[in-house]
Amino acid sequence: MITFPSPGFQLPGPGLGQPASPDEISAREYTVTKDGVGLPPGSGTASEGAVLYQQLCEKCHGRAGRGASAEELVGGIGSLASGFPDKTIGSCWPYAPTLFDYIRRAMPIDAPLSLTDSQVYALSAYLLQLSRLIADSQRMDAQSLRRVIMPNRKGFLQTGP
Ligand code: HEC
């Protein structure tokens, strides 16, 4: 009989149930709001992002953001109300700073929080440029990223304050 987990095995977890120290809390204060509050210094372009994407993201998300096992990142703009809604960054996400926040905290999924802020700007620029939402040469930083108008910005119902 196979016993799983093996006796004595403990998952390496975040220490749930233990009060977090102020240092542990500040190390996790990296939230960026939809309006771009909290975007850090640094910057990057789509061509810088393309190189990183190929090294770190393509194996799961496919060439140019499509066609592999993980979520499709590019394409589908205007498809949400169709019979085949394709939920991507360009078709679904209402605010560009959220892209920065998500990539920085969660991607690559096998090494989250491993990217520098400028690498995250570059990857955001690459994915926005592939989605035809910014020009090829446009540098993304705390100012320019919050100015990108996402096609689905008005596609969500505002229920909160
Ligand atoms: C080992 C596979 C893997 C790698 C490598 C990876 N991702 Fe992902 N990514 C995923 C999976 C799986 C999801 C869906 C996660 C979920 O829905 O909770 C995802 C989701 C995303 C999303 C959100 C898509 C959406 O619309 O919901 C973005 C953006 C993203 N990844 C960007 C990146 C970038 C940029 C990199 C490289 C730095 C990267 N990913 C590397 C597996 C991967």
Please give the single-letter amino acid code of residue 124.
S
Q: Among 44-53, 104-113, 128-137, where is mean pLDDT lowest?
A: 104-113
Mean pLDDT of the chain: 91
95 C-alpha to ligand 1 centroid (Å) = 17
Domains of the chain (ranges, CATH numbers) = 43-147 (1.10.760.10)
Contacts of 135 (CB under 8 A, 6+ apart): 129
Best residue among 54, 58, 60 to mutate for probing ligand 1's pocket (most ligand atoms within 8 Å of CB) is: 60
Whose alpha carbon is nearest atom 17 of ligand 1? 71
Whose alpha carbon is nearest atom 31 of ligand 1? 107
Q: What is the pLDDT of residue 5?
A: 62
Residues 10-25: tens digit of each pLDDT: 656 667 788 888 887 7
Q: Is pLDDT above 90 for 35?
A: yes
Could you give the CA distance from residue 26 to residue 19 in angstroms, rounded to a whole number?
Answer: 14
Residue identified by tokens 């920065």 is 100
Which atom belonging to ligand 1 lies closest to the Cα atom of 99?
A: 29
In contact, 88 and 74? CB cutoff 8 Å? yes
Could you give the CA distance from residue 81 to residue 88 in angstroms, rounded to a whole number?
Answer: 13
Whose alpha carbon is nearest atom 37 of ligand 1? 57
Whose alpha carbon is nearest atom 2 of ligand 1? 60
Q: What is the mean pLDDT of residues 119-139?
A: 97
